[in-house]
Homo-oligomer: A and B are copies of this chain.
């Protein structure tokens, strides 16, 4: 029998009725002749509630204690789902991350999976059980519980699917799949039937929240097909895969956007080796992720260096950058936190001219000023004022005819 790994997020198991709904969905896949492994997140706001408890005690909880605390949320939901399956006549067993053999490093709060020992899971499947695994958690060599950080449960599911040689990994969530653009901004946006790993990675990195890039990357590395679909309806969802069978579509696949963007511009920087590293090394040390970096062509050995960070990191970043700008004798250092990022993404854009031009023309027709431009092989990104993002996304969705299936 083929193995299917399904993952249900926190909103899919937020209350008892929803857990029963998940049990019925899992049972249906089982009836269709699959061996089932189900990964669950904690119920609804459980993780936030546990974090709030810890914060009442200390602003800086030990990573080890914090992870053992947070790991209880998934234990509760996975045992309840196993009970719900059992109560409708399907034998099921719940496993903690430790019991499921999820081995991690000791980076508490953001541990990485080092490997999976699937012995117990395989034994339970062979015994005819549906296996319900607590997502988002693993165990170190010293038997200490870790959590996997952002995108953790998706990563658990995909890693399990890979180690079990599953046929597919299904990620169930509260949206219908991967959309051509955010449907809250664009009424005509629709769910894609398929997308390849590269496009999905660009979408995820550029603000589409449906899956964490880390989980997509893992799927891509092992070529594990990932279906993203909705827990609450029967719509087919979006299949993320290697793209071998995909028709080459001379087309933009989707538009991602992110409102959480701030820009720092260091003006009048002497253009000599070592300057970039003098700026970006200390930012990395301070734990600040730098997104887009643009350096203008140098005029008389003086250049401007611009980069973006998450808006929430701006104050911290400025504290790092200001003294450096001074020490390298830059003329000025200015910031803007009221920015947004819009990206058009599509494998079909590779080696095909005209996409960038059409994007810039569309924005210009709407009188939307472009602060920065960056591109990858399958993506073009523009930074614009945040109050123009919605309008820009709608205009681009029309310009690239994404309303057509």
Contacts and interface: CB of A to CB of B under 8 A. Distances in A.
Nearest to A67: B79
Contact of A80 (B19, B53, B78, B83): B53
Stoichiometry, copies per complex: 2
Nearest to A79: B69
B57 A84 contact: yes
Nearest to A88: B58
B84 A58 contact: yes
Contacts of A56: 16
Contacts of A60: 87
Contact of A65 (B19, B61, B65, B79): B79
A61 B81 CA distance: 11
A394 interface: no
A47 interface: no
Interface size bucket, A side? Answer: 35 or more
A50 interface: yes
A94 interface: yes
Contact of A86 (B19, B20, B62, B71): B62
A327 interface: no
A99 B143 contact: yes
A64 interface: yes
A373 interface: no
A147 to B, nearest CB: 12
Contacts of A72: 72, 75-76
A78 B57 CA distance: 13
A120 B142 CA distance: 10
A216 B145 CA distance: 33
Contacts of A86: 58, 61-62, 65
A79 B68 contact: yes
A99 B53 CA distance: 23
A58 B87 contact: yes
A54 B80 contact: yes
A103 to B, nearest CB: 14
Closest 7 CB pairs of A and B: A58-B87, A69-B79, A72-B72, A16-B56, A65-B79, A61-B83, A65-B82
Interface of A: 16, 19-20, 50, 53-54, 56-58, 60-62, 64-66, 68-69, 71-72, 75-76, 78-80, 82-84, 86-87, 92-94, 96, 98-99, 120, 143-145
